[in-house]
Structure 1
C-alpha cells in the first residue's frame, strides 16, 4: 500500500479554466479599486487591491494550483514544512497569519507567495539547500513579500495594462509552480509571454526589501540570517550550471551578484550566535525527499548504502533513515523495518521513525502492530497530524471505514484546505456506508478544486437524503447556501 506521494496530474488540461477564473477575479479587483493608492515602499497597508480582494484572488489561484500542479501530500513532509513556516510567522509583520501551504512535487528550486496568504514551496527547495538556515531563508523572503504586499504594488505599476495581460500575470504565478511554466505561458498568450514574464518579476527594490525584512524575520525567529546569502550562492551556482535555462525561482526573483554581496554584507551586521543549529528533522525530511526524487528505488538504496560505506561521510541517523525509506520505495519493507528498529532503539519517541515504521508494517500486512505503535505515539502526541493520518490509513487498509472516517474528520477540521484529506474521507465514508458523509466530503473537495457547481450538486444530494428537521440537514443547508452565494458572485 503506497501513499507516499500522489501521481502527477496533467497541468495543461485545466489551464484554460484556470485562466478564465483568474481573469474574472482580477477584472473585478482592478475595476473596484482604480482610485485606491498604495503606500510607498516600506509600508504594508492599503493598496490597489483590498485585503478581501486579495483573499478572493488567493482562493482562485490556490484552486488553479490544486488542479494544475502535482502536490506533495506526504504528512511527514507537510508537518515539517508547516512547522518551519510557523516558526517564522510570529516574527513576520503579517496581518493575516492563517497561511495556506502548497508543496509542489518538483525537484526544481522554487518558492512563491500569492495574495490570500498562500506560500508555495517546491520539494526541490529542501534538496538544494545544504542547511535548514538556507532553506528557511527562502521561506522568510516569501513571507516578507506577503507582508509588504508586493503583488499589489506590481498591480499598481501595471494598472493601465490590458485585462488579458493582468490575467496572464496571475496565471503566470499559478504556472510558476509547474515545471516548464514558461512554455505554458507562451502557449496561452503567444506574443505577450515576454511582457508577462517581465510583470511577474519582482523589482530590484522589492527584492531588496524582501531580503531585508526576511533577514529580520530569521533573526527574530532564532535562525541565522547568513543562510540567505548562502542560499543565493547556491542559486547562482545552479544558474551557471544550467546555462541558458533560467531556474523558475530566478525568473520571478531576479538575482545579481551585487544583490548577493549586499545580502552578505547585511547578514554580517547581525550578531553571531553559536547556539543556532539545524534540527534533526530537517535532515530526515531531506533524506526522505532525496529518495522520492531519485530516478529509481534501487538507485536510492545504492546511494544511501554508498554514503554509509564511504569513510569521508559521517554515518548520521539521517543517512540510515534515508536507507530505510529507500528500502520501502524498493518494496523491501523487511529491510526497512530492520533499519528503523535500530534507529528507534536510540530514539524511541521520534515521530518520524514511528510513522515510517508503521508504513513498513502496513506493507508487511501487520496492521495490528502498526495500529498499536501509532496509538501509543498518539497518546504521547495528541492530535499529531502524521500519526493520525497513518492511523486512518491503517483502518482503511483493515476495512474499518467508520474508524478511518473519525480520524479523517479530525484532520479535516484542523486542516480544511487540504483537498486530498476530503478525498480520503469520502472513501472512508463510502466504506462505512455513510452516503451523506460521502456527499459532504466530495462537496468540500470540489469546492477546494474550484468546481462550485459540482460542490453544489453534492450538497443537494446530501440534503435530499436527510429528513426535515434533522440537525445534519441544517448544517448541510447552511453550507449549500454558502457555496451558492459564492457561485452567484462568480457568475455576476
Structure 2
C-alpha cells in the first residue's frame, strides 16, 4: 500500500515549521550574537557545536515520529543497521553514534542531518536493483555528515540575520521530515540569495559527497559503480515523471555531467564486481509486498517471476511469495514455502523470524515460541528474533514474559518508540501499572511531549512507597525532564 502526505499532514508540517523556527532561533541567536564573524567549520569549534547538533537531531527525530509514518519492521530495520555500520568504519565521521529511520514512502529519498540522523524511504529498496546501488545512497549521506555540509551551508549565510539562518535550518529539517516541498519553500523564502546560487552551492556539496561516498564504498568492500548506476536510475525516474521532480532530486540536484563524472571516478577503482548479499534482496521483496496494491497482485507478480526459465535470486523470490501469502492470510501456503527455504538454509534468521510471524498470525504460539527460542540460543540478543518472541508471548497472553524481553530490547534500542508502546501493552497485561506509566513516559519523550512524559512518571511515583528504589529512579528521570523543559523555555 502506498502512503502519501495528506492535507492534514501538510497542515501539521506547517505547525512543526513554526515550532522548529522558534526553537532553533532560541538556540542559535545567542550563539551568533557573541561574534559578528562566524567561526570556521570543523571540530568542536565549528559553527554548530556538538550540543546544538544533538539538539537539532533530537528535534528532527521527534518531528519525524509525530508527523510521518515510519517502517519499524525489525527485519528491515536490522538490515539497514547492518549495511550502514558496514560503511561507518570507512566514513570520516566524528560522531559515529547514528540514529536510523525508514520513512514509509515508496518514492526514492534519503537524508542526513546533524545529530547523526540518517533516513531512507522504503522506496529506496524498491528502486535500487542491487545492494551496491542501495549502499551508494547511504555512503553519499554519510559523506554529507562527515563533510559538515549542513553547517557549511549555514556559513554562506553569514551576512544574513540569525533568524534567517534559523528559518533555513527549520526548512531543511522540515523537508526531511515531511518529504514535501513545504520545507524547501521555507528555505527559498528566508534566504538572502537567489535560487540559482543556492543550487550551485548545493551542486558543489553534491560533488564532494559523491567523491567521499565512493571512497567509503570502496574502503568498505562495496562497489563504487553502484553510485553512477543509482544516479542513472534516478535520471530515468526524472524523465518518466516529467515536470514532477522526484523527492530525492529536489534536495540532491543531479545533472548528466554529474552522472558522467561519477562514472569516470568509479572506473578508477580496480576490482571485480561485488556480489550482493542475499539479505538485501529478501528485504527488497519483503517491502515489495508491503507496497503492492494488493496481496493478490503481489502473489501473481512473484509467481510470474518464478515461472521464468532462469530467474535471478530464486530463494529471495520464493521468500517474497511466502510473505505475500502471509499478507493474504494464506498461512498454510506461506508456512510450506518458508519450511522449504529453511530446509536449504537452516540457520537463516530472516526465514526463521518470518516463519514464526506466520505461526503467530495463525495463533500457533507454541511452535513459534519453540522455533524462536532455538534461534535465540544460537543468536543471543538478536533484535528481530527477540522482538518476534516477545510478540509470540504477548499474543499468548504471557505479559510478564513479553515485558522482560521488551524491556531488554528497549534498553538496547531506546530510540525505537514501537518498543516502548509494546512494553506498555505487555506491562498492562502483567498488571504492572508502574511499568505501564514508565514505558509510556519514554514513548512520550521520544515524541517530544515532555509534559505527558512528566505526568506519566508522576503517576507512577504516586503508586510507589517513599523508600522504594524504583521511586528514586523515577525521581531522577523526572529531574532530567525538568531540566529539558527549562532549557526549552529559555
Which band: TM-score by shorter chain?
over 0.9
Map of 1:299-378 to 2, 5 A cutoff?
A: 299-311=297-309, 313-314=311-312, 316-378=314-376
Deviation of 1:194 (Å) = 12
Determine if contact 2:108/2:124 at 8 Å carries over to the other structure.
yes
Unaligned 5+ segments in structure 2 are none
The one-character-per-residue Cα deviations of 1:135-169 (angstroms, maximum 9, x if unpaired) are: 00110110111111111111122244456654443
Structure 1 residues 359, 196: closer, same or farther in 2, change over 3 A?
A: farther
Partners of 1:253 and 1:72 lie apart in 2 by 23
- Structure 1 residues 409 and 98: CA distance shift in structure 2, 3 A: same
Seen in structure 2, the aligned counterparts of structure 1 residues 197 and 284 have a Cα distance that, compared at 3 Å, is farther
Question: Structure 1 residues 433, 198: closer, same or farther in 2, change over 3 A?
Answer: farther
Give the distance between the partners of 2:320 and 2:163, measured in 1 at CA: 47
Structure 1 equivalent of residue 279 of structure 2: 281
Note the C-alpha offset of 1:39. Answer: 4.2
The C-alpha deviation readout for 1:252-292, integer Å capped at 9, x for no partner, is 11111111111111111112235x21101001000001111
| SS state at 2:271 partner | coil
What is residue 157 of structure 1 aligned with on the other side?
Answer: 156
CA distance in 1: counterparts of 2:172 and 2:11, whole angstroms:
17
**Is the partner of 2:181 in helix, strand or coil?**
helix
The answer (yes or no) to whether the contact 1:88–1:140 under 8 Å persists in 2 is: yes
Please report how far the alpha carbon of residue 44 of structure 1 lies from its aligned counterpart in structure 2 after TM superposition.
6.0
**Aligned-pair distance for 1:311?**
2.5
- Counterpart for residue 217 of structure 2: 218
1:393 aligns with 2:375: no
Question: Which TM-score applies when normalising by structure 1?
Answer: 0.92
- Report if the CA contact (8 A) 1:38-1:153 is conserved: no
- Deviation, structure 1 residue 110: 0.4
The residue aligned with 1:101 is 100
Q: Is the 8 A contact 1:11 1:178 kept in 2?
A: no
Q: 1:239 to 1:46 in 2, by over 3 A?
A: farther
Match of 1:114 in 2: 113
1:291 is matched with 289
Does the CA contact (< 8 Å) of 1:307 and 1:315 recur in 2? no
Task: Please give the TM-score of this superposition, normalised by the length of structure 2.
Answer: 0.93
Q: How far apart, CA to CA, are the structure 1 residues paired with 2:400 and 2:43? A: 47
C-alpha distance in 2 between matches for 1:299 and 1:411: 35
Name the counterpart of 1:413. Answer: 411
CA distance in 2 between counterparts of 1:196 and 1:451 reads 37
Q: Distance in 1 between matches of 2:434 and 2:181?
A: 43
Aligned partners of 2:64 and 2:178 also within 8 Å: no
Residue 59 (1) aligns with residue 58 (2): yes
**1:389, 1:408 within 8 Å by CA — same for their partners in 2?**
yes
Does the C-alpha gap of structure 1 residues 482 and 463 become closer, same or farther in structure 2, counting only changes over 3 Å? same
Change in 2 beyond 3 A, CA 1:194/1:378:
farther
Q: How many pairs does the alignment contain?
A: 485
Distance 1:107 1:194, change over 3 A: farther
| CA displacement, residues 106-137 of structure 1 (integer Å, 9 cap, x when unaligned) | 11000000111000110111110111011001
Quick one: distance in 2 between partners of 1:270 and 1:385?
Answer: 36
In 1, Cα distance between equivalents of 2:316 and 2:139:
25
SS at match of 1:317: helix
Cα deviation for residue 320 of structure 1 reads: 0.2
Counterparts of 2:57 and 2:449, CA distance in 1:
15
Hey, what's the Cα distance between the residues in 2 that align with 1:59 and 1:353?
34
374, 377, 392: which one pairs with 1:379?
A: 377
Structure 1 residues 185 and 100: alpha-carbon distance in aligned structure 2, compared to 1, 3 A threshold: same
Structure-2 separation of matches of 1:26 and 1:161: 15
Distance in 1 (alpha carbons) for counterparts of 2:387 and 2:447: 21
Moved more, 453-462 or 197-206: 197-206
Distance in 2 between residues matched to 1:394 and 1:482, nearest whole Å? 35
Q: Does the CA contact (< 8 Å) of 2:28 and 2:166 recur in 1?
A: no
> Aligned in 2, Cα 1:17/1:446: closer, same or farther, shift over 3 Å?
farther
Distance 2:137 2:188 in 1: 31
Question: 1:241 matched to which residue of 2?
Answer: 240
Partner of 1:33: 31
- Closer, same or farther in 2 for the Cα pair 1:472/1:198, shift >3 Å? farther
Higher mean C-alpha deviation, range 456-465 or range 177-186: 177-186
Tell whether the 8 Å contact from 1:169 to 1:199 is kept in structure 2 after alignment. Answer: no
- Asked whether the equivalents of residues 2 and 293 of structure 2 are also in contact (C-alpha less than 8 Å), the reply is no
**3-state SS of the aligned residue for 1:176?**
helix
When residues 464 and 51 of structure 1 are mapped into structure 2, their CA distance, relative to the original with a 3 A threshold, is same
CA deviations over 1:222-260 (Å, ceiling 9, x no partner): 111111111111111111111001111111111111111
Alignment of 1:443-458 (within 5 A): 443-458=441-456
Q: Secondary structure at the match of 1:477?
A: helix
Where does structure 1 lack aligned partners over 5 or more consecutive residues? none
Q: CA deviation at 1:24?
A: 3.1
Measure how far apart 1:195 and its partner are.
7.9
Secondary structure of residue in 2 paired with 1:97: coil
Conserved 8 A contact 2:302-2:320: yes
CA contact (8 A) 1:82 1:101 kept: yes
